[in-house]
């Protein structure tokens, strides 16, 4: 336990618990306990990442290698044609490009408008504040699937059906970011913005030059959550667009049906692996913005 002051510290060899495996009878019980925790975590993380590695292995097989019994865990024979076919015969890069464009736009706009709204709710007194916030809280419970049809009609009436705008604008209404940023901004000491007010800053200057720099970790969290959710979003892009040029990754992936002659299981696996790899890279890039803190610290509502 982290708070256990009596916990014995083993010399750091920089490696895995090997250092703790040095047989020292006095530590027997602690050794046993530590192994149990490590084992449990190893099993849990194996279950978490295992399915992905199984699909990774499938993505390098042809259909004959796949149906062998007893199964080989490693791809034998090893082929890469699933990947080459995916990027040559299917508009995979187009799907990725569309997804990145839409997810980036949504994330950038959302971080700006959500932090502005969060600032107003956290630091400003105004008429209608409680009602406005109550309405926003209530809509957190609205299932997205319920809004698909009205959104379809609204988007059509605005004349943006089957355009990038149809993919970018509706997701902006999701209020979860306002909710999170409000609680983060509320956590800032009052003295910070009051000091700026005394120095004759207007509210926008306070927001831009005092609050925003202070809540950067929170902004990165909201950006990460928005981006990952947007990367994964499937049903609205399916309803809001129809032309092949606008297909995002998830819609493209779903169109890869093993019943189609040109689609093999290996190809589907390759597509799943590639798309997971791309979002993981983006996620790690966003995470590196933290410098010292991590998503964990700021996830708290």
Partner 1 sequence: MATIASNPDAVELRELSRARRRYLLRRSLTAWAFLLPEVVVFVIFMLVPVGWVIRQSFLSGGVLSPARWAGLANWKQAVHDPMVVQAAENTVLFTAIIVPIIFTLSIAAASALRAVKRGGAPLRAAIYFPQLIPSVAAAQIWLFMIHPDFGVLNVVNRALHHPPIDFVGQPHPAFSLVVMFEVWRGIGYWSLFILAAMLAVPTNQYEAATLDGAGPLRRFWHVTLPGIQSPLTVAVLLSAISALQIFDSIYILTNGGPNGATQSIVTYMFQTVFQTGEVGYGAVLGLTFLILIIVLTAGLVLFVRRRNRLQAETL
Measured from the CB of residue 295, what is the shortest distance to partner 1 in angstroms?
7
Helix axis angle, 265-287 to 92-123, nearest 10°: 40
Measured from the CB of residue 297, what is the shortest distance to partner 1 in angstroms?
6
Contact call for residue 189 and partner 1 (CB under 8 A): no
Contact call for residue 201 and partner 1 (CB under 8 A): no
Contact call for residue 154 and partner 1 (CB under 8 A): yes
Query: Smallest Cα–Cα separation from 298: which of 187, 175, 192, 189?
Result: 187
How many residues form the binding site for partner 1 (CB under 8 A)?
100
Contact call for residue 159 and partner 1 (CB under 8 A): no
Up-side HSE of residue 295: CA atoms within 13 Å toward CB? 11
Measured from the CB of residue 189, what is the shortest distance to partner 1 in angstroms?
16
d(CA 284, CA 115): 23
Contact call for residue 198 and partner 1 (CB under 8 A): no
| Residues between 233 and 252 that touch partner 1 (CB under 8 A) | 234-235, 239, 249-250
Contact call for residue 119 and partner 1 (CB under 8 A): yes
In this structure, the chain runs to a length of: 301
| Residues between 123 and 142 that touch partner 1 (CB under 8 A) | 124-129, 132, 135-142
Nearer Cβ to partner 1 (84/139): 139
Quote the tokens at residue 275: 């798309």
Measured from the CB of residue 15, what is the shortest distance to partner 1 in angstroms?
8
Contact 164, 99 (CB under 8 A): no
Contact call for residue 148 and partner 1 (CB under 8 A): yes
Q: Which of 210, 215, 269, 286 binds partner 1 (CB under 8 A)?
A: 269
Contact 177, 222 (CB under 8 A): yes
Contact call for residue 150 and partner 1 (CB under 8 A): yes
Contact call for residue 101 and partner 1 (CB under 8 A): no
* Long-range Cβ pairs for the range 240-245 (8 Å, 24+): 240/151, 240/152, 240/155, 240/161, 240/162, 240/166, 240/167, 240/170, 241/161, 241/162, 241/163, 241/166, 241/167, 242/162, 243/162, 244/91, 245/94
Q: Which residue has the tokens 């306070």?
A: 206
| Residues between 25 and 84 that touch partner 1 (CB under 8 A) | 33-34, 37-38, 40-41, 44-45, 47-52, 54-55, 58, 66-67, 69-71
């Amino acid at each position: 336990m982290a708070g256990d002051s009596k916990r014995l510290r083993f010399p750091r060899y920089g490696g895995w618990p090997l250092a703790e495996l040095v047989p020292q009878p006095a530590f027997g019980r602690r050794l046993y306990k530590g192994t149990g925790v490590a084992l449990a975590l190893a099993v849990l993380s194996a279950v978490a990442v295992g399915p992905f590695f199984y699909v990774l292995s499938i993505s390098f097989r042809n259909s004959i290698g796949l149906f062998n019994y007893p199964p080989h865990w490693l791809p034998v024979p090893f082929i890469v044609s699933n990947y080459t076919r995916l990027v040559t015969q299917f508009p995979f890069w187009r799907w990725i490009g569309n997804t990145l464009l839409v997810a980036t736009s949504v994330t950038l706009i959302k971080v700006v408008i959500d932090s502005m709204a969060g600032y107003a709710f956290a630091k400003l007194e105004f008429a209608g504040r409680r009602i406005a916030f109550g309405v926003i809280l209530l809509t957190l419970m609205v299932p997205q699937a319920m809004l698909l049809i009205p959104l379809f009609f609204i988007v059509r009436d605005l004349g943006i059906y089957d355009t990038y705008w149809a993919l970018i604008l509706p997701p902006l209404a999701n209020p979860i970011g306002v909710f999170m940023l409000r609680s983060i901004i509320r956590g800032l000491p009052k003295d910070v913005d009051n000091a700026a007010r005394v120095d004759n800053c207007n509210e926008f200057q306070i927001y831009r030059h005092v609050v925003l720099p202070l809540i950067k970790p929170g902004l990165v969290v909201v950006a990460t959550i928005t981006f990952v959710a947007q990367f994964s979003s499937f049903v609205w892009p399916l309803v809001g667009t129809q032309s092949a040029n606008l297909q995002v990754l998830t819609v493209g992936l779903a169109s890869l049906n093993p019943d189609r002659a040109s689609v093999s299981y290996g190809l589907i696996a390759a597509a799943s692996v590639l798309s997971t790899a791309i979002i993981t890279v983006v996620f790690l890039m966003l995470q590196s913005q933290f410098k010292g803190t991590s998503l964990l610290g700021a996830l708290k509502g």
